[in-house]
Amino acid sequence: MNEPSVASNGGQRAAFYLRLVSTVVLWAFVLGTIFSGFELGFFFMIAGLGLRGLWEYYRMLDRMGLPCFRVFGMFCGMATFVGSFYYFRTFGPGQAYDFEIGVVLFFLLAVFARQMAAKARVIASLETMVYTLFGLIYIVWMFNFVTKLTYVFPAPNDLETGGLRVTGQFYVLYLVAVTKFSDVGAYVFGSIFGRHYIVPHISPKKTWEGFFGALFSSTLLSCGLYALLPERLALLGWLHSVVLGVLLGFAAVLGDLAESIVKRSTNSKDSSNLLPGIGGALDLIDSLLFTAPLLFFYLRLVLRVGVL
Protein backbone atom coordinates (compact mmCIF):
# COMPACT_ATOMS: atom_id res chain seq x y z
CA MET A 1 0.00 0.00 0.00
CA ASN A 2 1.30 3.47 -0.86
CA GLU A 3 1.31 5.29 2.46
CA PRO A 4 1.26 9.10 2.37
CA SER A 5 3.62 10.96 4.70
CA VAL A 6 1.27 13.88 5.32
CA ALA A 7 -2.47 14.29 5.69
CA SER A 8 -4.09 13.08 2.47
CA ASN A 9 -6.47 15.13 0.40
CA GLY A 10 -9.95 14.06 -0.66
CA GLY A 11 -8.68 12.30 -3.77
CA GLN A 12 -6.20 10.25 -1.78
CA ARG A 13 -8.87 9.28 0.73
CA ALA A 14 -11.19 8.20 -2.07
CA ALA A 15 -8.41 6.09 -3.59
CA PHE A 16 -7.71 4.51 -0.21
CA TYR A 17 -11.35 3.63 0.41
CA LEU A 18 -11.67 2.19 -3.10
CA ARG A 19 -8.57 0.11 -2.52
CA LEU A 20 -9.78 -1.04 0.88
CA VAL A 21 -13.18 -2.10 -0.47
CA SER A 22 -11.60 -3.92 -3.42
CA THR A 23 -9.17 -5.71 -1.11
CA VAL A 24 -11.89 -6.77 1.35
CA VAL A 25 -14.16 -8.04 -1.44
CA LEU A 26 -11.39 -9.97 -3.17
CA TRP A 27 -10.00 -11.63 -0.07
CA ALA A 28 -13.49 -12.32 1.28
CA PHE A 29 -14.09 -14.23 -1.94
CA VAL A 30 -10.82 -16.13 -1.54
CA LEU A 31 -11.52 -17.02 2.10
CA GLY A 32 -15.14 -17.87 1.29
CA THR A 33 -13.86 -20.33 -1.29
CA ILE A 34 -11.56 -21.92 1.29
CA PHE A 35 -14.26 -22.24 3.96
CA SER A 36 -16.73 -23.63 1.44
CA GLY A 37 -14.59 -26.74 1.21
CA PHE A 38 -14.35 -26.37 -2.57
CA GLU A 39 -10.63 -27.04 -2.74
CA LEU A 40 -10.43 -26.96 -6.54
CA GLY A 41 -11.94 -23.48 -6.52
CA PHE A 42 -9.32 -22.41 -3.98
CA PHE A 43 -6.59 -23.78 -6.23
CA PHE A 44 -7.83 -21.84 -9.26
CA MET A 45 -8.07 -18.65 -7.19
CA ILE A 46 -4.55 -18.88 -5.73
CA ALA A 47 -3.02 -20.07 -9.00
CA GLY A 48 -4.87 -17.35 -10.88
CA LEU A 49 -3.62 -14.56 -8.59
CA GLY A 50 -0.08 -15.93 -8.60
CA LEU A 51 0.10 -16.38 -12.37
CA ARG A 52 -1.47 -12.99 -13.00
CA GLY A 53 1.12 -11.42 -10.69
CA LEU A 54 3.90 -13.24 -12.56
CA TRP A 55 2.51 -12.07 -15.90
CA GLU A 56 2.43 -8.46 -14.67
CA TYR A 57 6.06 -8.76 -13.54
CA TYR A 58 7.14 -10.00 -16.96
CA ARG A 59 5.11 -7.25 -18.65
CA MET A 60 6.90 -4.63 -16.56
CA LEU A 61 10.20 -6.08 -17.77
CA ASP A 62 8.96 -5.95 -21.36
CA ARG A 63 8.07 -2.27 -21.07
CA MET A 64 11.64 -1.54 -19.99
CA GLY A 65 13.11 -3.69 -22.75
CA LEU A 66 14.53 -6.18 -20.23
CA PRO A 67 14.86 -9.75 -21.52
CA CYS A 68 12.94 -12.68 -20.05
CA PHE A 69 11.29 -15.94 -21.11
CA ARG A 70 7.74 -14.82 -20.39
CA VAL A 71 5.77 -17.72 -21.87
CA PHE A 72 8.21 -20.30 -20.55
CA GLY A 73 8.12 -18.70 -17.09
CA MET A 74 4.32 -18.83 -17.08
CA PHE A 75 4.46 -22.54 -17.93
CA CYS A 76 6.88 -23.20 -15.05
CA GLY A 77 4.62 -21.22 -12.72
CA MET A 78 1.53 -23.18 -13.68
CA ALA A 79 3.38 -26.49 -13.29
CA THR A 80 4.46 -25.43 -9.80
CA PHE A 81 0.97 -24.47 -8.63
CA VAL A 82 -0.55 -27.68 -10.00
CA GLY A 83 2.18 -29.89 -8.54
CA SER A 84 2.13 -28.20 -5.16
CA PHE A 85 -1.66 -28.38 -4.85
CA TYR A 86 -1.62 -32.10 -5.66
CA TYR A 87 1.37 -32.87 -3.44
CA PHE A 88 0.25 -31.02 -0.34
CA ARG A 89 -3.38 -32.11 -0.69
CA THR A 90 -2.32 -35.73 -1.07
CA PHE A 91 0.68 -36.05 1.25
CA GLY A 92 0.63 -32.95 3.47
CA PRO A 93 3.63 -30.86 4.55
CA GLY A 94 5.38 -33.69 6.38
CA GLN A 95 7.11 -34.79 3.17
CA ALA A 96 7.50 -31.30 1.72
CA TYR A 97 11.27 -31.00 1.91
CA ASP A 98 12.05 -33.07 -1.17
CA PHE A 99 9.26 -31.44 -3.12
CA GLU A 100 10.49 -27.93 -2.32
CA ILE A 101 14.07 -28.74 -3.32
CA GLY A 102 12.72 -30.33 -6.49
CA VAL A 103 10.77 -27.17 -7.38
CA VAL A 104 13.80 -24.89 -7.05
CA LEU A 105 15.99 -27.35 -8.98
CA PHE A 106 13.32 -27.57 -11.69
CA PHE A 107 13.27 -23.78 -12.03
CA LEU A 108 17.04 -23.61 -12.38
CA LEU A 109 17.47 -26.48 -14.84
CA ALA A 110 14.45 -25.46 -16.91
CA VAL A 111 15.67 -21.89 -17.36
CA PHE A 112 19.14 -23.09 -18.39
CA ALA A 113 17.58 -25.57 -20.83
CA ARG A 114 15.42 -22.82 -22.33
CA GLN A 115 18.42 -20.53 -22.74
CA MET A 116 20.28 -23.22 -24.65
CA ALA A 117 17.66 -22.96 -27.38
CA ALA A 118 18.03 -19.18 -27.65
CA LYS A 119 20.65 -17.22 -29.57
CA ALA A 120 21.98 -14.27 -27.60
CA ARG A 121 25.16 -12.68 -26.37
CA VAL A 122 26.63 -14.07 -23.16
CA ILE A 123 25.59 -11.14 -20.97
CA ALA A 124 22.08 -11.09 -22.50
CA SER A 125 21.77 -14.81 -21.82
CA LEU A 126 22.61 -14.32 -18.15
CA GLU A 127 20.22 -11.39 -17.80
CA THR A 128 17.37 -13.33 -19.42
CA MET A 129 17.83 -16.28 -17.09
CA VAL A 130 18.18 -14.12 -13.98
CA TYR A 131 15.08 -12.02 -14.69
CA THR A 132 13.00 -15.10 -15.51
CA LEU A 133 14.18 -17.08 -12.49
CA PHE A 134 13.72 -14.14 -10.11
CA GLY A 135 10.04 -13.83 -11.07
CA LEU A 136 9.47 -17.53 -10.45
CA ILE A 137 11.09 -17.45 -7.01
CA TYR A 138 9.79 -14.05 -5.89
CA ILE A 139 6.17 -14.53 -6.97
CA VAL A 140 5.32 -18.18 -7.66
CA TRP A 141 7.43 -19.94 -5.05
CA MET A 142 6.70 -17.44 -2.27
CA PHE A 143 2.99 -16.96 -2.94
CA ASN A 144 2.53 -20.72 -3.08
CA PHE A 145 3.01 -20.80 0.69
CA VAL A 146 -0.64 -19.73 0.96
CA THR A 147 -1.54 -23.15 -0.46
CA LYS A 148 0.84 -24.84 1.95
CA LEU A 149 -0.73 -23.09 4.93
CA THR A 150 -4.10 -24.56 4.01
CA TYR A 151 -2.66 -28.05 4.37
CA VAL A 152 -0.11 -27.37 7.11
CA PHE A 153 -2.05 -29.46 9.63
CA PRO A 154 -2.52 -33.22 9.19
CA ALA A 155 -6.05 -33.61 7.82
CA PRO A 156 -8.30 -35.77 10.03
CA ASN A 157 -10.90 -38.11 8.62
CA ASP A 158 -14.38 -36.60 8.44
CA LEU A 159 -16.81 -39.22 9.80
CA GLU A 160 -19.75 -37.67 7.97
CA THR A 161 -18.20 -37.52 4.51
CA GLY A 162 -15.76 -40.37 4.83
CA GLY A 163 -12.94 -38.16 3.50
CA LEU A 164 -10.16 -35.93 4.71
CA ARG A 165 -11.02 -32.53 6.13
CA VAL A 166 -8.91 -29.41 5.54
CA THR A 167 -7.99 -27.68 8.81
CA GLY A 168 -5.55 -24.89 7.92
CA GLN A 169 -8.09 -22.44 6.54
CA PHE A 170 -8.31 -20.52 9.83
CA TYR A 171 -4.58 -19.83 9.66
CA VAL A 172 -5.01 -18.53 6.11
CA LEU A 173 -7.75 -16.26 7.45
CA TYR A 174 -5.37 -15.17 10.21
CA LEU A 175 -2.58 -14.52 7.69
CA VAL A 176 -4.66 -12.41 5.30
CA ALA A 177 -6.38 -10.41 8.05
CA VAL A 178 -3.21 -9.57 9.98
CA THR A 179 -1.26 -8.74 6.81
CA LYS A 180 -3.90 -6.46 5.36
CA PHE A 181 -4.65 -4.79 8.71
CA SER A 182 -0.99 -3.92 8.91
CA ASP A 183 -1.36 -2.12 5.56
CA VAL A 184 -4.32 -0.17 6.94
CA GLY A 185 -2.35 0.73 10.08
CA ALA A 186 0.58 1.95 7.99
CA TYR A 187 -1.73 4.19 5.98
CA VAL A 188 -3.63 5.65 8.95
CA PHE A 189 -0.60 6.31 11.16
CA GLY A 190 1.41 7.58 8.20
CA SER A 191 -1.38 9.93 7.18
CA ILE A 192 -1.77 11.42 10.66
CA PHE A 193 1.73 11.34 12.10
CA GLY A 194 4.07 10.66 9.16
CA ARG A 195 7.08 12.97 9.11
CA HIS A 196 10.22 10.85 8.92
CA TYR A 197 10.86 8.93 5.70
CA ILE A 198 12.25 5.38 5.75
CA VAL A 199 13.72 4.90 2.26
CA PRO A 200 12.63 7.83 0.06
CA HIS A 201 14.79 6.62 -2.84
CA ILE A 202 12.65 3.46 -3.01
CA SER A 203 9.24 4.63 -1.79
CA PRO A 204 8.96 8.38 -1.14
CA LYS A 205 5.75 8.05 0.91
CA LYS A 206 6.80 5.45 3.48
CA THR A 207 7.49 6.85 6.96
CA TRP A 208 8.73 5.44 10.25
CA GLU A 209 5.47 6.51 11.86
CA GLY A 210 3.57 4.41 9.34
CA PHE A 211 5.96 1.52 9.92
CA PHE A 212 5.32 1.45 13.67
CA GLY A 213 1.62 1.90 12.96
CA ALA A 214 1.75 -1.23 10.84
CA LEU A 215 3.40 -3.19 13.68
CA PHE A 216 0.87 -1.92 16.21
CA SER A 217 -2.10 -2.75 13.97
CA SER A 218 -0.89 -6.22 13.02
CA THR A 219 -0.16 -7.09 16.65
CA LEU A 220 -3.52 -5.75 17.78
CA LEU A 221 -5.42 -7.81 15.22
CA SER A 222 -3.30 -10.90 15.86
CA CYS A 223 -4.26 -10.83 19.54
CA GLY A 224 -7.85 -9.92 18.66
CA LEU A 225 -8.25 -12.89 16.33
CA TYR A 226 -6.83 -15.22 18.96
CA ALA A 227 -9.30 -13.82 21.50
CA LEU A 228 -12.19 -14.34 19.05
CA LEU A 229 -11.10 -17.78 17.81
CA PRO A 230 -9.20 -19.37 20.70
CA GLU A 231 -10.14 -22.91 19.70
CA ARG A 232 -9.38 -22.49 15.99
CA LEU A 233 -6.05 -20.76 16.69
CA ALA A 234 -5.29 -22.74 19.83
CA LEU A 235 -1.63 -23.29 18.96
CA LEU A 236 -0.84 -19.60 19.12
CA GLY A 237 -1.58 -18.57 22.68
CA TRP A 238 -1.03 -14.99 23.76
CA LEU A 239 2.76 -15.03 23.53
CA HIS A 240 2.88 -16.36 19.96
CA SER A 241 0.04 -14.03 18.98
CA VAL A 242 2.13 -11.04 20.02
CA VAL A 243 5.34 -12.36 18.45
CA LEU A 244 3.62 -13.25 15.18
CA GLY A 245 1.78 -9.94 15.11
CA VAL A 246 5.09 -8.06 15.20
CA LEU A 247 6.83 -10.40 12.76
CA LEU A 248 4.00 -10.41 10.22
CA GLY A 249 3.67 -6.63 10.39
CA PHE A 250 7.39 -6.26 9.78
CA ALA A 251 7.30 -8.76 6.90
CA ALA A 252 4.29 -7.00 5.35
CA VAL A 253 6.18 -3.70 5.24
CA LEU A 254 9.19 -5.44 3.70
CA GLY A 255 6.97 -7.08 1.11
CA ASP A 256 5.49 -3.74 0.17
CA LEU A 257 8.94 -2.16 -0.12
CA ALA A 258 10.22 -5.12 -2.14
CA GLU A 259 7.56 -4.58 -4.78
CA SER A 260 8.35 -0.87 -4.74
CA ILE A 261 11.92 -1.75 -5.73
CA VAL A 262 10.62 -3.80 -8.66
CA LYS A 263 8.21 -1.08 -9.79
CA ARG A 264 10.77 1.71 -9.46
CA SER A 265 13.34 -0.37 -11.35
CA THR A 266 10.87 -0.85 -14.19
CA ASN A 267 9.49 2.71 -14.03
CA SER A 268 5.98 1.48 -13.14
CA LYS A 269 3.49 3.14 -10.79
CA ASP A 270 1.38 -0.04 -10.45
CA SER A 271 1.93 -3.54 -11.77
CA SER A 272 -1.24 -3.10 -13.89
CA ASN A 273 -4.69 -1.47 -13.77
CA LEU A 274 -6.60 -4.74 -13.30
CA LEU A 275 -8.12 -4.01 -9.89
CA PRO A 276 -9.91 -0.70 -9.09
CA GLY A 277 -8.09 1.29 -6.44
CA ILE A 278 -5.38 -1.36 -6.08
CA GLY A 279 -3.55 -1.69 -9.36
CA GLY A 280 -2.63 -5.21 -10.35
CA ALA A 281 -2.65 -8.64 -8.79
CA LEU A 282 0.97 -8.18 -7.77
CA ASP A 283 0.01 -4.98 -5.91
CA LEU A 284 -2.64 -7.01 -4.07
CA ILE A 285 -0.41 -9.88 -2.97
CA ASP A 286 2.94 -8.08 -2.52
CA SER A 287 2.95 -8.18 1.29
CA LEU A 288 1.64 -11.75 1.37
CA LEU A 289 4.68 -12.87 -0.60
CA PHE A 290 6.69 -12.27 2.57
CA THR A 291 4.17 -12.99 5.32
CA ALA A 292 2.92 -16.36 4.01
CA PRO A 293 6.37 -18.06 4.09
CA LEU A 294 7.09 -16.52 7.50
CA LEU A 295 3.88 -17.87 9.04
CA PHE A 296 4.38 -21.30 7.46
CA PHE A 297 7.91 -21.70 8.81
CA TYR A 298 6.90 -20.31 12.19
CA LEU A 299 4.22 -22.98 12.45
CA ARG A 300 6.60 -25.69 11.27
CA LEU A 301 9.83 -24.75 13.05
CA VAL A 302 8.66 -22.95 16.19
CA LEU A 303 5.28 -24.51 16.92
CA ARG A 304 6.34 -27.81 15.32
CA VAL A 305 3.11 -28.32 13.39
CA GLY A 306 3.13 -31.57 11.45
CA VAL A 307 6.66 -32.46 12.63
CA LEU A 308 7.04 -36.00 13.85
Lowest mean per-residue pLDDT among 163-167, 248-252, 265-269, 300-304: 163-167
Give the pLDDT of residue 159: 43
Q: In the predicted model, what is the mean pLDDT of the chain?
A: 83
Percent of the chain clearing pLDDT 70 (strictly above): 85
Contact 203, 187 (CB under 8 A): no
Give the pLDDT of residue 163: 45
Condensed to tens digits (0 to 9), the pLDDT of residues 70-129 reads 999 999 999 989 988 888 888 776 666 677 788 888 888 888 888 887 766 666 788 888
> Is the whole model's pTM more than 0.75, yes or no?
yes
68: left (phi over 0), alpha (psi -120 to 50) or beta: beta
Largest CA distance in the chain: 62
Q: What is the mean pLDDT of residues 132-140?
A: 93
> CA-CA distance, 254 to 267, in Å (whole number)?
20
122 Cβ neighbours under 8 A, 6+ residues apart: none
**Whole-angstrom Cα Rg for the chain:** 20
Q: What is the mean pLDDT of residues 143-163?
A: 70
> CA-CA distance, 238 to 215, in Å (whole number)?
16
Give the pLDDT of residue 294: 96
4 Cβ neighbours under 8 A, 6+ residues apart: 12, 187, 190, 191, 194, 205
Amino acid at 291: T
- Whether 3 shows a pLDDT value over 80: the answer reads no
Contact 18, 277 (CB under 8 A): yes
> CA-CA distance, 114 to 129, in Å (whole number)?
9
> CA-CA distance, 280 to 28, in Å (whole number)?
17
Condensed to tens digits (0 to 9), the pLDDT of residues 214-243 reads 999 999 999 999 999 998 898 898 999 999
3-state SS, the chain, equals CCCCCCCCCHHHHHHHHHHHHHHHHHHHHHHHHHHCCCHHHHHHHHHHHHHHHHHHHHHHHHHCCCCCCHHHHHHHHHHHHHHHHHHHHHHCHHHHHHHHHHHHHHHHHHHHHHHHCCCCCHHHHHHHHHHHHHHHHHHHHHHCHHHHHHCCCCCCECCCCCCECCCCHHHHHHHHHHHHHHHHHHHHHHHHHCCCECCCCCCCCCEHHHHHHHHHHHHHHHHHHHHHCCCCCCCCHHHHHHHHHHHHHHHHHHHHHHHHHHHHHCCCCCCCCCECCCECHHHHHCCHHHHHHHHHHHHHHHCCCCCC
